[in-house]
Structure formats: C-alpha cells, structure tokens
Amino acid sequence: MDNRDEVKAFLSSRRAKITPEQAGLTSYNRNRRVPGLRRSEVADLAGVSVEYYAQLERGNLAGASDSVLDALARALHLDEAEQQHLAALARAAGPASRTRRKPSAPQVRPSVARILELMTGIPAFVNNGRGDVIAANPLTQALYAPMFDDATRPPNHARFAFLNPRARDFWRDWERIATTTVAMLRAEAGRDPYDKSLTDLVGELCTRSEEFRIRWAAHDVRLHNTGVKQFRHPVVGDIDLNFETMQLTADPGLYMTLLSAPAGSTADDALRLLASWAATRHTDALPTHPRP
C-alpha cells in the first residue's frame, strides 16, 4: 500500500468531515461549495503555512515533528484512534520504513498456548492485526462455530464478516461489526503498509465485497479494545458477551481477546451450555501447536 496515497486520502477525508462551525471559525464564506474545511483553514488552525500543510496533504509526512502532528490532530479534531493512525503514517513515511516490520508469529509461545488451554470457562483466542485467529481454546471454537466451520485456515474475522453469508445471522449487529473490522484493518495498514498478506487480504475483500470496498474507501480507523459483542449462536441463541483485547507485549503484532458474561446472567448460563456442547462437538480443532 502506498504510504503517500494513504496520507493524502486520510488527511483530506478528515478535513472534509470538519465543518467551520465545529472548528470554531466565526468568519468564513457561507456559500462555500463543500461543507469541510479548506486547506488554508486547517493550516491556520494548526499554526503552519498553507504551503507546508499542502505538502503534508500531498502525502509527504516524512520529517513532520510530534508538535506538528499534535497541531494537526487538534485542528482536525482527531480522536485517539485517528491520532495513533496519523503517528503511524508519519513513522511509515520516515527512513526507518525502508525496513519492513517483523511479521507477527504464525504460532503462539508454549506459555500462551497453556494459558488458552487452562481457560475453560470463557472464550479466549489470539489473533494478529489482519484478524487471523492464530490460536483459540475450545470454547472460542464453539462460540465462533460458523467461522471455524469454514475450511479456510487460518480463520479470519474480516473474511468471515464479508464473504460468509452466515455472518449476517451470526452477528446481530453486523453493520457495526463490519465497520469496526474495516477500521481495524485500515489502522493495521497504517502501522505496516508493506505487509503483503494484509495487502492481499484487502485486495481480495475489495474485489469480492462491495460492502467492504465502500467502508475501506472511507479511511476510518478505530480502537477495539473493550466493549460488548452481540452474537446469535445457532445452538444457544442470542448472547451478549463483554470482551477485553490486550496486546501480547512479548509478541509484537499479536493480541489476546477474552470474552465473559456477568455471573448468574442469562449469558453466563448460555456460556455454560455452550461449554457442554463444545465438549461433545466433533470438529477439527484449530492447530495451536506452540512454537519452540
């Protein structure tokens, strides 16, 4: 993915989203053709020259200081995820970007595999930034049965959401899941624009799914560390689970997600039923052989 094109599209799309009123501008031409800010207005708000901002929006973020990035974030009203994305784009534009980031491990370490094995009461899994599920405990495989039933390996959240027709029934809030999934992939592309596997995945999804292609063109990014997932499971029915996602600091690019329900809740009962079903379910388990 071309970093300059990504920078240009991201900055221009954020500029188009901010109205003069939102930016606090009191004097401007109310007969303007577009609702967003002009380049000159962003430059004034950020305290840089119009020429310099135009250079940044043309995709040249190399050498932009932290203070300039912070000023742009304030001018464009960027949220936390967007600020992180802008910083990642700036890093990728620098000289260090010539060296590709070390790819995430294809397997988990023995200690991580053991942790997943011991978590029998809650779904737990490890994935990379592309949404590939690297390792998962049996309860995860039971909960995400429609995704794991697909023969494609490794299972991938984005591919399931957009290419598997069962996803729209499985996710009660499919629209939100779809938008968040694309926003997470866009953020990952900012962190590592030279990840060929990610580029191939995005190319496949853009080719095969108009829903994905429309969302990808929006250049939105989003954090997805905690919240509630709303499932419609083919065995236990509707179930809402809290999730927490954390980075495995010893394994750059890998993340562990844990799902749970309040004690004594209907969802907690459904998880127990799901665990019983998982114990009798005859499917090929996801390979989770730890790396040495």
74/133 same-domain check: no
At 30 the pLDDT is 66
Q: Is 205 within a domain?
A: yes
| Cα separation values, 211 from 69, 161, 178, 258, Å | 32, 10, 8, 28
Which domain covers residue 66, as residue numbers? 3-98
Q: 219-238 pLDDT, tens per residue?
A: 999 998 999 999 999 999 99
Does residue 163 belong to any structural domain of this protein?
yes
Helix 174-191 / helix 210-217 crossing angle, nearest 10 deg:
50
CATH number at residue 156: 3.30.450.180
Q: How far apart are CA 187 and CA 182, in angstroms?
A: 9
CATH code (residue 17): 1.10.260.40
Residue numbers of the chain with a pLDDT score lower than 70: 1, 27-31, 95-103, 282-292
Statement to judge: residues 118 and 178 lie in one domain: yes
**For residue 265, is it within any domain?**
yes
Asked if 45 and 134 sit in the same domain, the reply is no
Predicted local confidence at residue 289, as pLDDT = 42
Give yes or no: residues 93 and 114 share one domain. Answer: no
241: exposed, middle or buried (C-beta count within 10 Å: 0-12, 13-18, 19+)? Answer: buried
Which strands form 124-128's sheet, in the order they lie side by side?
Answer: 133-136, 124-128, 254-260, 237-247, 226-233
Alpha-carbon gap, residue 34 to 44, rounded angstroms: 18
Do 58 and 132 belong to one domain? Answer: no
Q: Give yes or no: residues 93 and 122 share one domain.
A: no
pLDDT of amino acid 96: 59
Q: In this structure, are 124 and 66 located in the same domain?
A: no
Query: Taking the chain, what is the end-to-end CA distance rounded to the nearest angstrom?
Result: 33
Look at residue 208 in the predicted model and tell me its pLDDT. Answer: 97
Helix (H) or strand (E) holding 223: none
Same domain, 247 and 153: yes
pTM: 0.88
pLDDT for res 34: 75
pLDDT digits 0-9 by tens, 111-154: 999 999 999 999 999 999 999 999 999 999 999 999 999 888 89
Residue 73 shares a structural domain with residue 138: no
pLDDT value, residue 288 = 45
**86 plus 56 within the same structural domain:** yes
Number of domains in the chain: 2
